[in-house]
């Protein structure tokens, strides 16, 4: 690991992960700068979740160099709240400083759940659960937020408000974000850089320099979307090659 | 069960969709009936609705008592074979207020039994839960502990009594050990199953949040296993009470089991029945305590239901 410089939040070089001989990740190089939003897209099985799990420290059985500088927080697709803990205690879970409760309440207020401190997770809607999950990630003041398809299970409208929320939170706290998604539009709406994984390799990258919130039909985005969809093997009419 | 479901359906229909009857003029009443007929049938909600069943749970025991008394009123069974409840009340009264050398007093017997029960249950319960944690969370632990418990599980308690007397003497120890053993097994099995059933993704969450081992136990393992462990607790209290009866009828010098034994010698069917009834009351009582625990500990589930 000594060859890496340490200025980027994420430094990955030659990362390979094999399951039963099959290389799910095959020599990945990836840098993420502080405060950068990177979207990782790919078809299912392309290794994008595996990469996120490795960065989260959940999978260490790898070869290559992986370095994460700073604190990491994760928001999972399934929100993953402890059903037996009230929303506020879920957010404060694992914090050890004295004003953990106030911090948790502040974060919940920030994600729009100011009146749900004492609610049980099972009474929340899908969007509310994801907001709680974001609040839980936020209170850890991460340098890197890993979002594993956090909006995949939400309806289209809720998803749009969540995009806005993620952007607002990012503006205030400026963590680097790695967003794993299979939704090209979601990636283009949020990311500075879209990285496309295919067969365990980085097959394509698109940089997006537009201000957010972005107009979905901006001419720059249309071209990028078509290229990304093309790389994913889908033409613009939605047909698979 | 289908009957109960229908009843529940009806209850929820009344509660959720029917407005409280207004003070009715004739036209209001007709408007009201109109709403009911036109209104959609409310979907049955998930889970059970919390209803006040405290009083309802007494009804069936009371009906049994009445039927029992009636066997006496209509002279269906001889009094010596099955003394009626009214007769037993007198017996109980005498056992409480007029202690005899043969039987002692009911309250002393009850206290002795309770003490054995509590001690045995505490010891056995702690062992059962501790072993379950070891067995569920460590492969080595499981290999070491589980086969033993699976074997002990099938040993008949009756068969153990003479062995325990040889090992622990004829004092209070063998009785407590029998109760402990009976309490340990269901708590072990259910706590183990409860921990194993915890969603592995929650352990992953613990890792991501950097929870310490202690925090993981406190926040994930124990609360996650609790619903199933409480089932074990309920079974354990029952098993421990049964074991107590068995243990106390052998070489005891006090307690409810001893009282039953003595009454048997003296041909006092009524005393036996009173002692047995006290056991059943203990059963109700422990069940009640477990219910309270459940209501407290599983509030996060009932809230789901209320909403």
pLDDT 10s digit of each residue in chain B, 307 long?
344 443 333 333 333 333 333 333 333 333 333 333 344 444 444 444 555 566 787 899 899 999 999 999 998 988 888 899 999 999 999 999 998 888 989 999 999 999 999 999 999 999 999 999 999 999 999 999 999 999 988 888 878 888 888 888 888 888 999 999 999 999 999 999 999 999 999 999 999 999 999 999 999 999 999 999 999 999 999 999 989 888 888 777 788 988 998 999 999 999 999 999 998 888 888 889 998 998 888 888 854 444 4
List the single best residue of B46, B204, B205 to mutate versus A (max A Cβ within 10 A).
B205
Contact A18, A70 (CB under 8 A): no
Contact B187, B125 (CB under 8 A): yes
Residue contact A120–B303, C-beta within 8 A: yes
List the single best residue of A120, A128, A140, A146 to mutate versus B (max B Cβ within 10 A).
A120
> Which of A70-74, A155-159, A176-180, B134-138 has the lowest average pLDDT?
A155-159
Chain A contact for B300 (CB, 8 A cutoff): yes
Between B2 and A109, where is the model more confident? Answer: A109
Phi-psi region of A77 (alpha: psi -120 to 50; beta: other; left: phi over 0): alpha
* Residue A210 C-alpha from the chain's centroid: 19
Mean pLDDT of A21-38: 95
In chain A, residues with a C-beta closer than 8 Å to the C-beta of B219 are 82, 85, 93
Kindly report the CATH number that applies to the domain delimited by A35-62+71-232.
3.40.50.300
Contact B264, B272 (CB under 8 A): yes
Chain A contact for B204 (CB, 8 A cutoff): yes
Alpha-carbon distance of A82 to B223, in angstroms, equals 9
Residue contact A83–B226, C-beta within 8 A: no
Mean pLDDT of A167-187: 94
The residues near B190 (Cβ < 8 Å, ≥ 6 apart) are: B132, B228, B229, B231, B232, B233, B235
**pLDDT attached to residue B168:** 87
**pLDDT attached to residue A115:** 95
Percentage of chain A with pLDDT > 70?
A: 95
User: Band of the pLDDT at A235, cuts 50, 70, 90?
Assistant: low
User: Band of the pLDDT at A65, cuts 50, 70, 90?
Assistant: very high
Chain B contact for A94 (CB, 8 A cutoff): yes
Q: What is the DSSP letter of A178?
A: E
Phi-psi region of A141 (alpha: psi -120 to 50; beta: other; left: phi over 0): left
Chain B contact for A1 (CB, 8 A cutoff): no
What does pTM read for this prediction? 0.76
Contact A110, A138 (CB under 8 A): yes
Report the chain A residue with the minimal C-alpha distance to residue B216.
Answer: A94
Residue contact A82–B304, C-beta within 8 A: no
**pLDDT attached to residue B281:** 86
Query: What is the 3-state secondary structure of chain B?
Result: CHHHHHHHHHHHHHHHHCCCCCCCCHHHHHHHHHHHHHCCCCCCCCCCCCCCCCCHHHHHHHHHHHHHHHHHHCCCCCCCCCCCHHHHHHHHHHHHHCCECCCECHHHHHHHHHHHHHHHHHHHHHHHHHHHHHHHHCHHHHHHHHHHHHHHHCCCHHHHHHHHHHHHCCCCHHHHHHHHHHHHHHHHHHHHHHHHCCCHHHHHHHHHCCCCHHHHHHHHHHHHHHHHHHHHHHHHHHHHHHHHHHHHCCCCCCCHHHHHHHHHHCCCHHHHHHHHHHHHHHHHHHHHHHHHHHHHHCHHHHHHHHC
Residue from the list B202, B226, B304 with its beta carbon closest to the beta carbon of A122? B304
Residue contact B205–A80, C-beta within 8 A: yes
**pLDDT attached to residue A236:** 61
* Residue B6 C-alpha from the chain's centroid: 27
Report the chain A residue with the minimal C-alpha distance to residue B202.
Answer: A80
The ipTM estimated for the assembled molecules is 0.88
What does the domain layout of chain B look like in residue ranges? 2-38, 56-306
Q: What is the DSSP letter of A121?
A: G
Residue contact A93–B209, C-beta within 8 A: yes
pLDDT in tens, A201-233: 999 999 999 998 898 889 999 999 999 999 988
Kindly report the CATH number that applies to the domain delimited by B56-306.
1.10.3720.10
What does the domain layout of chain A look like in residue ranges? 35-62+71-232
């Amino acid at each position: 690991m000594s060859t890496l410089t340490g200025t980027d939040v994420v430094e990955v070089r030659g990362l390979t992960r094999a399951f039963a001989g099959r290389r799910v990740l095959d020599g990945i190089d990836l840098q993420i700068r502080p405060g950068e939003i990177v979207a990782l897209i790919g078809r299912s099985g392309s290794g994008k979740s595996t990469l996120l799990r490795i960065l989260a420290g959940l999978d260490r059985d790898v070869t290559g160099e992986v370095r994460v500088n700073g604190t990491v927080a994760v928001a999972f697709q399934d929100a993953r709240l402890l059903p037996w803990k009230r929303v506020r205690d879920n957010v404060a879970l694992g914090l050890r400083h004295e004003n953990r409760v106030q911090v948790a309440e502040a974060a919940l207020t920030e994600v729009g759940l100011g009146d749900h401190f004492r609610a049980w997770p099972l009474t929340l809607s899908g969007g509310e659960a994801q907001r709680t999950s974001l609040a839980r990630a936020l209170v850890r003041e991460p340098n890197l937020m890993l979002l594993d398809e956090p909006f995949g299970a939400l309806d289209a409208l809720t998803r749009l408000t969540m995009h806005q929320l993620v952007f607002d939170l990012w503006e205030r706290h400026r963590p680097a974000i790695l967003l794993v998604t299979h939704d090209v539009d979601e990636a283009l709406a949020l990311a500075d850089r879209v990285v496309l994984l295919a067969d365990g390799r980085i097959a394509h990258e698109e940089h997006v320099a537009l201000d957010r919130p972005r107009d979905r039909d901006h001419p720059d985005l249309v071209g990028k979307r078509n290229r990304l969809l093309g790389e994913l093997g889908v033409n613009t009419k939605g047909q698979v090659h | 069960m289908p009957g109960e479901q229908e009843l529940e359906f009806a209850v929820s229909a009344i509660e959720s969709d029917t407005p409280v009857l207004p003070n009715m003029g004739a036209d209001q009443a007709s408007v009201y009936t109109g709403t009911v007929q036109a209104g959609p049938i409310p979907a049955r909600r998930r889970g059970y609705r919390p209803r006040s069943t405290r009083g309802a749970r007494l009804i069936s025991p009371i009906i049994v008592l009445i039927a029992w008394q009636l066997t006496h009123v209509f002279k269906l069974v001889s009094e010596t074979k099955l003394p009626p409840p009214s007769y037993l009340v007198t017996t109980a009264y005498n056992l409480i207020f007029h202690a005899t050398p043969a039987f002692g007093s009911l309250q002393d017997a009850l206290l002795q039994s309770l003490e054995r029960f509590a001690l045995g249950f505490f010891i056995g319960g702690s062992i059962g839960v501790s072993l379950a944690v070891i067995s569920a969370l460590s492969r080595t632990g499981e290999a070491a502990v589980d086969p033993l418990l699976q074997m002990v599980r099938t040993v008949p308690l009756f068969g153990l009594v003479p062995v325990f007397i040889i090992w622990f003497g004829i004092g209070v120890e063998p009785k407590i050990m029998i109760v402990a053993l009976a309490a340990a097994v269901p708590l072990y099995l259910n706590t183990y199953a409860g921990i194993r059933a915890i969603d592995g993704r929650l352990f992953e969450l613990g890792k991501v949040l950097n929870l310490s081992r202690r925090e993981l136990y406190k926040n994930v393992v124990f609360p996650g296993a609790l619903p199933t462990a409480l089932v074990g607790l309920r079974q354990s209290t029952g098993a421990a009470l049964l074991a107590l009866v068995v243990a106390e009828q052998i070489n005891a010098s006090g307690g409810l089991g001893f009282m039953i034994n003595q009454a048997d010698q003296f041909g006092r069917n009524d005393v036996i029945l009173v002692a047995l009834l006290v056991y059943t009351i203990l059963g109700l009582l422990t069940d009640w305590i477990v219910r309270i625990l459940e209501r407290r500990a599983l509030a996060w589930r009932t809230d789901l239901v209320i909403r």
